[in-house]
Every structure is written in structure tokens, then in C-alpha cells.
A and B are shown apart, each in its own frame.
Chain A
Amino acid sequence: MRLDDTPARGRAAMRPSGTASRDTLGSALLLMAPALALYAVFTLLPVALTFWLSFSQSAGFNTGAQFTGLDNYRKAAADPIVWQSLRHTFLWLAYHVVLAGGLGLALALAIARLGRSGVFFRTAFFLPHLVSLAVVGVIWANIYDPFFGLLNTALTGLGLGAYTQGWLSEPVLVLFSVNVASSWQGFGLYMLLFIAGLQNIDPALYDAAEVDGANGFQKLIHVTLPGLSEVMTFVVSLAMINGLKGFATVFVMTNGGPFYQSELITTYIYRLAFQAQNHGQAAVLCILLSLLAIAITIVFNRWRARLAR
């Protein structure tokens, strides 16, 4: 399936055809009933309830909730950790796109030029992606241990002891360090997507460029990257949405610490909802998270539409 085929066919299918008979809503609902039922109860209903929760206050699951209006929103706006976690979330997205997306792109560009050995490399580089993010957290927490972990002991062993750091304790480094672990797990999928995208670029374009006397670098800039633009947009938006869902690695490695230096919106939600039992304020953050996700999706859909033209 070529990437460029689908939109055209999709559009054609959505145009009502003259000879097709119409179906009833009822018969369609029959087929959609299972999906709709599950989705309504376990996704739509919670969305609505989160909204309501953000306007109420309760001390826990057993206690009643009272309507408190914009109280929670006011408190959230005044809470410095909310802003900090928001800032960290943006940073996290940026790190993820650059590290995971960048590595995926670089490796794809290299692997696409290989023959049989390309399959080997592609398989091998994909391995980290198979590990659960929580398990990745356990592995990398041990790698980053300042006294016994792989990173610092390897640096010391290579005579680079001066470069050892408190990877998970240094405020400037901690978010980045955790993200490296998360990106290590994430880049595999993006690499595959880029490889598929590269395979879809018409080889004739490369030949034409060579005829024009272009060298390797120029081919990259003028043929490869433009040919990848749609995939790149897709990967960036996917990386951002995945980044927004980031939770497991931070939770396992630092639990948002030290002193909230790696607190993301998602980890703060968990802290508020399940440790402090402050559901109203957690719900405000849930709304914030959803708004961010919706905004990113809209922006990228518009961008992709513009590219497709």
C-alpha cells in the first residue's frame, strides 16, 4: 500500500455512489454495538466524568464529592508544580522527538542503503522496542546508578572518571537522562516507519538527480528529505502523542524527583489522584493533558493536509 494511494481511494469511497442503496442506522448499529458499548462505558463516560470531577472536591473514592466550581482550577493555576510539570512535559516531548525521531531517521537512512545486512541491522536495532517501558525503567535505573551502574563504572573504567555524573540526581540532567531511556525504547518504531517511507520514494528521482550531477549530500537534501516529508510529519506527531503518554519510565526511575525535577503532567496526575487522594485537582490536570493532546492532533492534521496539497 503506497502512502499516496490511500487518500484518493478514501475520498472516492466516501462520495455516495448513485447506485448504492442506503442502509438503516439500526442495521449499522447492530454491527457497531459491541464497540460502541465498550467505548461508551469505558472511554466516553470517564471523559465526561473527568470533566465533572474537575469542578468538584473529594477526599477519596469512598467519600462524596461536592461541587466547588472553579476552585480546583484556581488552585491548579496557583500551584507551581503544575507549571513545572507542564514545562517538563514540553521538554520531554522535544527530547523525545529529537532523540527517538532523530535516531530513527539516521538509522533508517543508513539501513536503507544496505542489502542483506540491512535486514540484520533492522532486526537488531528494533529489539529495545519490544521491552515494556516499565522494564526499561528498571534496566536504566540500574545503568544510571551513580556508584555501581554501567554508565559511571564504564566511564571510570575507560579512564573518563571525570565525566561521571549524578544522572538521576542532577536537576539539569534528570529529565534528559530518563528520556534517553524512553527514547531508547521508542526509536525502533520510528526507524521502521522511516524505512518504509524511504522505500516509497521513486528511484527515478535519484537517477534524475545524478544526471544533474548531484552528490550524496545534495541527493539527501533535495530528494530524500522532501520525499520523507509526509512520514516525518507523521512521525513527529506520533512521537509527540507518545511523549504525552510518557509515564512508566519516569515513575519507575525517579517518581518525579528529585524535588519534582522530573515531574510530568502524567506523573503528577498519579501522585495527586492515587497518593494524595486529591481527585479534583488531578482531574484539572487530566483536562489539561487532554487539551494538549487535542491541540497537537489538530495542528498536525492541518499540517498534513497542507502537505498533501
Chain B
Amino acid sequence: MNRRNREWPIALALAPVLVLVLAPFAWLMVSSLKTEAEIGQGAPFQWPADLMWRNYADAWRIGGFGELIGNSLMNLAGVVALTLATCAPAGYALAKMRFPGREWLFYIFIFGLTIPIQAIIIPLYQVLFGLRLIDTLTGIVLAQVSNGIPFGIFLMRSFFISVPDELVEAGKIDGASHVQILTRIFLPISLPAVQALIVISALSTWNDFFLPLVVLISPDIQTLPLGLVRFAGTYASEYRLVFSGTVISFLPIILLYILTQRRFTEGLTQGAIKG
């Protein structure tokens, strides 16, 4: 009872905090609708005389955002698909199969969790170069998936461990191979884990900057964050373009989040807790 009465003061106290936290977004969006001269006045509370929606059209065209978003989407699709394809079977094997060296293999995978990508980037670049995968979508997908395998395996394994062994036994009695047990029995009931893995790998791939910075050289294959930084650097003197381009670069995912809000949050929390 007490708590319900005290909801209003808390909400009231949170409101200014929210304003402060979201202020950068608000300022960015208002400024993106100003003319270059208005931006140059440096008056943050000033509303633009005319709403320059043109800035968005120009930024989109000049910055090639359509292409950037396309590249990011392909990047994301590749990573999510490959991550699921590699981590689900491996997680199952480590959780439900008993074989010599199982614990050792698990620790080898977990080792990757501690290594930041910057620590292996030089030879990773050389490996990709040797395989002629620099500046290709394949190259970056492989590198990103490999980077995400430790976490993905940990997640799937944790989930599968909590599934009763009896299901495996039952499958074996029916004469099914492990692959069949995995695909026909375990995966269908793994929605929470799969959802978590999808949300986490999708978000981290979409926003990845460091690997694309190193691997993707040509402007026509670059992904969104990298593209925006280059765009902001090249057109730095046209702030109206930089601002509107920046808004374009985060608007899609924010809209997606608002629409699928619960799944997103659940996925992230589940994933992080398991991890």
C-alpha cells in the first residue's frame, strides 16, 4: 500500500533526470533542422525559423545512408545466422554430451571471453588479409562471429544445462542421433535463449565500430557507425549534414526498439544474466 502512494514523488523526481539524459537527443534533432547559419549562432534554446527537413534528404543522398544501412543489415543477418549455427550445436554438445576433454574444450572457449578484440587485432588483420577477406562482408562477419562465439556458447550451454537430461535419454531410446535430438527436441523449446542470443548479437553487430574500422576500407562496403564517422569527418564543415546524418544513423534502431520493446529488454537481461 505504502509503495503505491509514493509513486508520484518518485516519478516527479525522475522526470528532470530523464530530461537531462535525453537532452543530447533533443538538441541533436532540433539542431538538425536548422540552417547552417542558425547552427552557427550557437543558441541551444532557439527553435529554427523554418524546419529544414531538406537537411535529412541531403544527408541521406550525400552520405549514401541507404547503402550504409543495407551493408549493416547484411552484416547483421550474416552474423546472427552464423552465430546461431555455430553456438547452438556447440552449446548442446558441451551441455548434454559426455566425452573426454569436455571441460577443457569449454575452458578454451571461455578464454575468448576475456580477450578484448583490440588485443588480437594485428594478427587477425593479417589472417584476414592472407585469406583475401579484407574489405569483404564475409571477412567481417567471420571475425565478428568468432568474437561472439565464447559468449554465444556460454549462453546456449547454460540454457541447455537447465533442460532435463531425461529429454536426451528419451531421444536416444527412440534411436535419434544427437543432431536430431538437438534440432527436433531442444531447439524448439529454446526460444528464450535464442531470442537472447539474437538480440545481443544483433545489437552489438549493428553498433560495432572497431572491427569495421580495421577491416572495411572501401566506402561502398562500410557499415553504419563507420560510415557516419567518415561522413562527419568529410563533411565536418557542414554541421547541418552531420547532425541530420547522425539522427539517421540511430533512428532505425530506436524505432525498432520502441516497437519490440519487451522482447529486446528480456533478451538483453536474460543474455547478460546467463553470461
Direct contact of A and B (CB under 8 A): yes
Main secondary structure of the interface of A (DSSP, over half): helix
- B146 and A244 contact, CB distance less than 8 A: no
Query: What band does the interface of chain B fall in when counting residues whose beta carbon is under 8 Å from A?
Result: 35 or more
- A153 and B43 contact, CB distance less than 8 A: yes
Residues from chain A with Cβ under 8 Å of B246 in the complex: 135, 138-139
Residues from chain B with Cβ under 8 Å of A265 in the complex: 118
- A148 and B119 contact, CB distance less than 8 A: no
Main secondary structure of the interface of B (DSSP, over half): helix
Closest chain A residue, CB of each to CB of B13 = A110
Given contacts A23-B97, A42-B124, A137-B229, contact A127 B25 (CB under 8 A): yes
- B210 and A247 contact, CB distance less than 8 A: yes
A273 CA / B161 CA spacing, docked (Å)? 42
Q: List 13 A-B contacts (CB under 8 A).
A: A10-B162, A16-B98, A19-B169, A23-B98, A23-B178, A115-B4, A121-B11, A132-B224, A138-B228, A142-B239, A153-B44, A192-B268, A266-B118
A273 CA / B108 CA spacing, docked (Å)? 27
A36 CA / B6 CA spacing, docked (Å)? 54
A244 CA / B119 CA spacing, docked (Å)? 10
Q: Interface residue count for A (Cβ, 8 Å)?
A: 104
Answer whether residue A283 sits at the interface, using C-beta atoms and an 8 A cutoff: yes
Answer whether residue B89 sits at the interface, using C-beta atoms and an 8 A cutoff: yes
Residues from chain B with Cβ under 8 Å of A289 in the complex: 116, 118-119
A192 CA / B123 CA spacing, docked (Å)? 36
- B269 and A41 contact, CB distance less than 8 A: no
> Which of A27-35, A74-82, A93-101, A169-177 contacts its partner?
A27-35
Given contacts A131-B250, A140-B24, A248-B209, contact A45 B123 (CB under 8 A): yes
- A35 and B153 contact, CB distance less than 8 A: yes
Q: Which of B240-260 contact A (CB under 8 A)?
A: 242-243, 246, 249-250, 253-254, 257-258
- A143 and B85 contact, CB distance less than 8 A: no
